Amino acid sequence: MRVYSISPLDIRMFRVLPVVFLFLITVPVFGFQISQEFKYLENTQLSPSKLKLEGDSIRFEIRGKIPVESSIAAKSPRLKLVYFDENQKLDLGEISLRKDLAYYEFSKKINLGFQPWMNSGTLELQYFQGKKANSPALEKKTIAKGIIAPQLMVKLGEVYPDEPIPNVGLYITTGQLDREMEQRGTFSFPFDMGSSQVRSSLAFQNELKKLDEFLKEYPNLISVKITGIQSPESSEGKSSKLGMDRAQNLFKFLKNKLRSFPDSSIIVNSRWNDWFDLRLLLRDYEGISTQKKDEMYAVLTSGESYLEQSSRLRKISGFSQVERDLFPALRSAKLEIVARPRQGLNLEQTTRLLEAMKNPSATSQLSFAEWALAAEASNSLEEKASIYSKMTELFRSPLPYNNVAVVRMRQAQRTLDNQSKEVLWEEAERLLEQAMRIEPNSYSLHNLGQILALRGEYWEAYKKLSDASTGVQNPEFVRANESLRGALDILRGDYKLATLRFQYKFNDPKDYFNQGLAYFLIGEYSLANMAFEESVIVGRDFGYGYYGLAMIAAESGQKEIALIQLKKAIQSNNQLANRAYMDPIFQEIREDKEFFSIKD
């Protein structure tokens, strides 16, 4: 077998700009090409039927027959295979023809080293006659467009247009715990059937107690959302008014507890005729079998209307038990909080800090922990950098060097200029290496691995992260380090190992999406579906979770559901439209005229 390769493999997808719509104008959209009559290349087959990235290469076989009668007057018939996009072209060489009585037969196996530009390319077979090397092809046939490569969607912390800027890097904090990470708290306050009045029941008091404990540990509020919910019971009303009244009354009741957060920033809304909250409850419900639960999930994710889903759910045996056990929990208002733990200095300490910052001498009346707390409390990257930089003059510790490096990494996330980004990464690397010289530590190793991953140096990144994983028990650090290792496992092609890296509860929808990719790539669609669902639950505006659900629906032949999920994905994240238009997973769906309404 002859092997074709393309220079050193360099899958730097975060540097590859999304395919612009000019591509859609100049190249016919998949499934909508003008039909073409073939005289020579009609009996051509590709195996597998779509190009697919496996590891670092694309492997396929092309074979077929050309009737001799079609070439009865042919002089030196030749076949040539090319792969190209609008900017590049790769000659894959000629394919030998073997003549028998009725046919010219041909077959060829190709092992093609992958490069990012191939993602939007076309595999074309060309038929020639005659010995002239520059003679035009008599016939051309498109064999495949694009490459199935969901693994290249894996999220490593890269910044993409129109998406929230992800945080990268891990700070070393005063307690050697990564408390800088945001914590999410969800509290469900029950109401009586059909009522919006706050009543101090035992269940209500239990939720208040949980809320008080959360606020004591995480008093620095970042976001607060209150959502009024109604159960599907007829006594709960026929409009969303009850749910909104519940949300507003809970807001009034909790104002004193949430006084540190501006009222104007608290989101108050409601949900009605929406099975989203039942899906959340069903996830941990043990009153029915897994099979029945899967049947219900299939209905809840079908994309049908609320009433259609309601009718189908009630036909599933065991749903009456779900109604009795779970519907009462839907008579509620949900409070969702994102917060950080208490940090910072008192007034006297702050005064001393400001004096020390102005003083050029390497002395201070504040302790190491007080300096670190001051930096942790600041929401300004520039202020954090100033405090940590001063700490490098006052104390010999890896903490300030590591933490200035994290600031530089996060500043790099906020610049669009690649040269400036590289300068910031280089400075971060120098600081991390200095931190390691003072005292080897897992945080600095992790951060070096993160920078390498963002640069596309995946194997070197993986080695750093593997070294960082030894001897650290902090669950927050382990979760962050393992999830990044799992993302790199996906790019390395070790999908099974990747699934083992994601056995945690995450706060970030990208981690659940990466978990779903790993399961999808080993064909475990049920587990992939659950992970993509979790991604949607944690971040409904993230978009990628919906895209994953669309991939599963497409692979299962469920066109309507795939279209519904794609529409949700694109509504959440318009960048996914470009990918959907060229992703071979949706090739059959693109033949449906409804496909072009998904952006509406």
Question: At the top level of CATH, which class does the domain 13-148 belong to?
Answer: mainly beta
Instruction: Give the mean pLDDT of 494-520.
Output: 94
Q: Where are the domains of the chain?
A: 13-148, 183-340
Looking at residue 74, what is its pLDDT? Answer: 55
Task: Output the six-digit token pair for 128.
Answer: 């020639």
Distance, in Å, from the CA atom of 419 to the CA atom of 310, rounded to the nearest integer, reads 55
Over residues 69-123, the pLDDT tens digits come to 655 555 778 899 999 998 999 999 999 999 888 888 999 999 999 998 998 899 9
Of 143-157, 356-370, 409-423, 444-458, give the lowest mean pLDDT range.
356-370
Residue 152 backbone dihedrals phi, psi, to 5 degrees: -80, -5
Over residues 277-310, the pLDDT tens digits come to 898 888 888 999 988 888 998 888 887 888 899 9
Over residues 444-497, the pLDDT tens digits come to 999 999 999 999 999 999 999 999 998 777 888 999 999 999 999 999 999 999
Instruction: Give the mean pLDDT of 131-140.
Output: 84
Residue 573 — pLDDT band, cuts 50, 70, 90? confident
The Cβ of residue 282 has, within 10 Å, a number of other Cβ atoms equal to 17
Over residues 309-327, the pLDDT tens digits come to 999 999 999 999 999 999 9
Burial class (CB in 10 A: 0-12, 13-18, 19+), 292: middle
183-340 CATH, one of 3.40.50.300, 3.90.550.10, 3.30.1330.80, 3.30.1330.60? 3.30.1330.60
Amino acid at site 481 = N
Distance, in Å, from the CA atom of 502 to the CA atom of 478, rounded to the nearest integer, reads 11
* Cα dist from 524 to 54, 154, 496, whole Å: 17, 17, 10
